[in-house]
């Protein structure tokens, strides 16, 4: 009987210890996730988004001009990490851009964002030192938190989003303003457009515009306290 009690106490203590070890492992992985952890999270995001992506409407210039801040299927979960997902629609409620966001535990910038249009994929690794942006599997550039985007290979300035403008957020690629993002607050319209202005642009310029605009729209949608 004594041996049995001792064995039960040992198993309970061992189970408790395993629980603590597992909790600490989860905690540390979400405080400073390694590359494998981030890749695994992205793989999960892609898999969970498959059905949604299949329903997205192709994003032509005309649809881009109709893009709104309105979202469907928006969901936010807060805990050790903050996760958010949703689909930005046109002003006519057509699904255009799907995204999944995960902010790891702790203060500062430490998150990953996966976004899709019907034809393009964007991945953002958000850290204190900057945001590495991949478009269709290739490094597009590194966006600094002041809105300056540098080429991922040459390190030259390739674009910027002017966050100091009080009325809107002009987006410039090279020396050409390609669009201007509306400031979503205050928004009087029930279904406000995302862009105040969209100019003519090349495919590469449109990719840069989308990479900056999607991030800006998601960040404006985040809970005020993460």
Reference 194, options 206, 181, 207; nearest CA is 181
In a domain, 35, yes or no: no
In a domain, 177, yes or no: yes
Interval 176-198 mean pLDDT: 80
Interval 167-194 mean pLDDT: 82
Q: How confident is the model at residue 11 (pLDDT cuts 50, 70, 90)?
A: low
The C-alpha atoms of residue 96 and residue 61 are separated, in whole angstroms, by 12
In a domain, 145, yes or no: yes
Q: What is the overall mean pLDDT for the chain?
A: 85
Cα 71 from chain centroid (whole Å): 14
In a domain, 25, yes or no: no
Tens digit of each residue's pLDDT (9 = 90 or more) over 93-137:
999 999 999 999 887 889 999 999 999 999 999 999 999 999 999
The helix/strand/coil state of 163 is coil
- Percent of the chain at pLDDT > 70 equals 80
Token reading at 166: 């009080």
Q: How confident is the model at residue 13 (pLDDT cuts 50, 70, 90)?
A: low
Domain total for the chain? Answer: 1
In a domain, 22, yes or no: no
Reference 181, options 170, 192, 166; nearest CA is 170
- Asked if residue 14 has pLDDT above 70, the reply is no
Q: Which residue has the higher pLDDT, 147 or 7?
A: 147
Q: Which domain holds residue 124?
A: 49-221
In a domain, 39, yes or no: no
Q: How confident is the model at residue 198 (pLDDT cuts 50, 70, 90)?
A: very high
Tens digit of each residue's pLDDT (9 = 90 or more) over 63-81:
999 999 999 999 999 888 8
Reference 42, options 96, 95, 102; nearest CA is 102
The 10 Å CB-count burial string (b at 16+, else e) for 143-167 is beeebebbebeeeeebbbbeeeeee
Interval 194-222 mean pLDDT: 93
Distant-in-sequence, close-in-space partners of 92: CB < 8 Å, separation ≥ 6: 66
In a domain, 111, yes or no: yes
The C-alpha atoms of residue 181 and residue 213 are separated, in whole angstroms, by 7
């Amino acid at each position: 009987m004594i041996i049995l009690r001792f064995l039960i106490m040992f198993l309970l203590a061992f189970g408790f210890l395993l629980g603590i070890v597992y909790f600490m492992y989860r905690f540390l992985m979400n405080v400073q996730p390694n590359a494998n952890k981030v890749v695994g999270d992205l793989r999960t995001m892609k898999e969970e988004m498959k059905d949604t992506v299949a329903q997205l409407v192709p994003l032509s210039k005309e649809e881009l001009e109709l893009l709104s801040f309105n979202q469907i299927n928006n969901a936010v979960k807060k805990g050790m990490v903050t996760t958010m997902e949703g689909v930005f629609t046109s002003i006519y409620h057509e699904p255009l851009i799907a995204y999944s966001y995960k902010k790891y535990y702790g203060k500062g910038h430490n998150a990953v964002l996966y976004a899709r249009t019907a034809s393009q994929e964007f991945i953002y690794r958000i850290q204190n030192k900057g945001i590495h942006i991949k478009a269709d599997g290739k490094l597009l550039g590194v966006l600094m938190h002041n809105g300056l985007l540098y080429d991922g290979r040459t390190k030259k300035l390739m674009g910027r989003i002017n966050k100091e403008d009080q009325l809107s957020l002009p987006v410039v690629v090279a020396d050409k303003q390609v669009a201007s993002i509306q400031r979503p607050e205050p928004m009087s319209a029930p279904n406000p457009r995302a862009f105040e202005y969209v100019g003519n642009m090349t495919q590469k310029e449109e990719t840069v515009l989308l990479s900056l605009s999607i991030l800006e729209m998601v960040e404006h949608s985040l809970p005020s306290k993460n």
